[in-house]
Amino acid sequence: MKIIIIGASAAGISAARTIKEVEPNTQVTVISRDDCVHSRCMLHHFLGHERDEAGISFVDGHFFADNHITWLKNTAVVGLNTAAKAVTTDDGQELFFDKLLIATGASYFVPPIPGLREATNVYGFRDLKDARLLDAECETAKNAVVIGAGLVGMDAASALLKRGLKVTVIEMMDHTLGLQLDEKSARPYQQHFAAHGADFLLSEKVVAVDLDETGRGVTIQLASGKSIPADVIVIAAGVRPSFDFLDKTGIATEKAILVGDDLQTNVADIYAAGDVTGLSGIWPNAMKQGRIAAINMLGERLLYNDRFAIKNTVNFYGLTTLSLGNINPQPEENFDVIVREDHSSYRKIIMKDGHISGVIIQGDIGGTGFLQHLIKQQIDLSGLDKDVCDLEYSDFYAVDPENGEYHYAV
């Protein structure tokens, strides 16, 4: 059997590895624009000069050779013929498959702000190509502006600070890391970043970017009337699933590629996994989707049911936070909010009717992995005679007598 995988990030590599584990005789070809497998969650370590390109790879250097996988790097898929079961590449090759996995991820989005799309010194921070371009800019730039204080923006800011640039972060919300943190848990991060030289402009909006005669953005105009000088601009305002080549192929898409629980598209033998499916934008879920799609392409039928995707961890300057679910509930939602804090830790648990729907744990996050399971499985805690902040996995301890694996006694 011949399987083609488009994309060499979490979902694509996880699928390739799984196929070779389960059916080593399968012919696997991975096609990627990237010339270097890398973890986008580590781009800031590359830009910050803490790691080189090999240091941000999540597979070893011989992965493709060792697993007998053909890798077409620096190659984009530009067309798909579902009837002939073939993809065409930007270098004119036509490659046939029995099964296809689309794991093309997402691309960063540049909002339609005057000057922003035109400026030649505006960069996303999505893949190694972006990080290389930013790296080159860092040689001469002094003032960096990061638009968007989500995880990607903060990653970029931390690296630019490490490179000695003056960094200004502009954010529409009133605090940083708005998807992960509440105002209180965001504050210590802002303090850490500020102590390292960052300026934050919160509840602010970019309205225009002024260009110089060479087309570079040199001044950021804000809704408040302020203006900020910029030598280099990072845009971190979110991403969009990336599937341009599917136009007129009959593969059903909305904002993302639509897949069933088996991760197959509406066209038989064509699967999708990772950010391109819009199911989740987070590494662990992309890995799991790649694995499940791979097993299904080999003829099994595994269902993807790990739909809980609002989760993340944050670690800047040694301050760690776990964030799960709905962490900024609206008053009209009538949640119970339980908070416990001391000088070095903060716990906030959002509940309703004995079920947890959101968690922020800042400080010591050791052993907190079970909380995700409590939310995912909607485990009823109302009968437990214990403060929810004191719960541990041991309160749900159960062991499989055959193989010694743990599960949940509920």
Partner 1 sequence: MKRIIIDREQCDGCLNCNVACISAHQEGSNFYTVNLGSADSQSRNFIKFDPKTGYTPIFCRHCDEPECVLSCMSGAMQKDPVSGHVSYDEAKCAACYMCVMNCPFGVLTPDRQTRTKVIRCDFCEDQPDGPSCVRACPKQAIEVKEVSR
Asked if 66 interacts with partner 1 (CB under 8 A), we say: no
Residue 228 CB, nearest approach to partner 1 (Å): 30
Q: Does 237 bind partner 1 (CB under 8 A)?
A: no
Nearer to partner 1, 169 or 324 (CB): 324
Binding partner 1 (rule: CB under 8 A), the pick from 92, 112, 225, 404 is 404
**Which token pair is 77?**
């898929």
Q: Is 45 in the site for partner 1 (CB under 8 A)?
A: yes
Please, what is the minimum distance in Å from the beta carbon of residue 314 to partner 1? 9
Q: Does 372 bind partner 1 (CB under 8 A)?
A: yes
Tell whether residue 394 is a contact of partner 1 (CB under 8 A).
yes
Q: Which is nearer to partner 1, 45 or 85 (CB)?
A: 45
- CB 368 → partner 1: shortest distance, Å? 6
Q: State which of residues 11, 14, 178, 271 lies at the interface with partner 1 (CB under 8 A).
A: 14
Least Cα distance to 282 among 221, 336, 228, 239 occurs for 239
HSE-CB at 363 with a 13 A cutoff on CA atoms is 10
Indicate the pairing of strand 270-272 with strand 99-102.
parallel
Binding window for partner 1 (CB under 8 A); candidates: 53-61, 91-99, 181-189, 330-338 = 53-61
d(CA 92, CA 89): 5
| Number of Cβ atoms within 10 Å of the Cβ of 154 | 26
Cα 220–171–188 angle (5° rounding)? 130
- Is residue 185 within the footprint of partner 1 (CB under 8 A)? no
CA–CA distance, 231 with 234 (Å, rounded to integer): 10
Binding mask 293-312 for partner 1 (x = CB under 8 A): ------------------xx
Q: Does 24 bind partner 1 (CB under 8 A)?
A: no
119-141 burial: b if 16+ Cβ within 10 Å, else e: bebbbbbbbbebbbebbebbeeb
Residues 6+ apart with CB under 8 A from 281: 106, 239, 275, 309
Q: Between residues 42 and 232, which has the closer beta carbon with respect to partner 1?
A: 42
**Residue 180 or 265 having the CB closest to partner 1:** 180
Nearer residue to partner 1 within complex by CB, 105 or 217? 105
Q: Does 403 bind partner 1 (CB under 8 A)?
A: yes
The helix (run of H) or strand (run of E) holding residue 130 is helix 128-138
**Taking the complex as a whole, how short is the minimal distance between the CB of residue 141 and partner 1, in angstroms?**
25
Q: Measured from the CB of residue 206, what is the shortest distance to partner 1 in angstroms?
A: 29
CA 246 centroid distance within chain: 22
26-39 burial code (b ≥16 CB/10 A, e <16): bebbbbbbbebbbb
Q: Is 188 helix (H, G, I), strand (E, B) or coil?
A: helix
| Choice from 140, 315, 330, 382 touching partner 1 (CB under 8 A) | 315
215 binds partner 1 (CB under 8 A): no
Nearer to partner 1, 299 or 369 (CB): 369
Q: What angle do CA 293, 296, 300 make, to 5 degrees?
A: 155
Distance between CA 362 and CA 356 in Å, rounded? Answer: 17
Distant-in-sequence, close-in-space partners of 62: CB < 8 Å, separation ≥ 6: none
How distant is the alpha carbon of residue 371 from its chain centre? 21
In the complex, the smallest distance separating the C-beta of residue 262 from partner 1, rounded to whole angstroms, is 17
C-alpha dihedral, 249 to 252 to 256 to 259, nearest 10°: -120
User: Considering beta carbons, is residue 353 or 364 the nearer one to partner 1?
Assistant: 364
Based on CB atoms, which residue is closest to partner 1, 311 or 347? 311
Contact flag: residue 284 with partner 1 (CB under 8 A): yes
| Cβ–Cβ under 8 Å, residues 360 and 327 | yes
Which region, judged by CB under 8 A, interacts with partner 1, from 73-81, 129-137, 184-192, 387-395? Answer: 387-395
406 in contact with partner 1 (CB under 8 A): yes
Interacting residue ranges for partner 1, rule: CB under 8 A = 10, 14, 21, 39, 41-42, 45, 56-60, 282-284, 287-288, 291, 311-313, 315, 318-320, 322, 324, 364-370, 372-373, 392-395, 397, 399, 402-406, 408
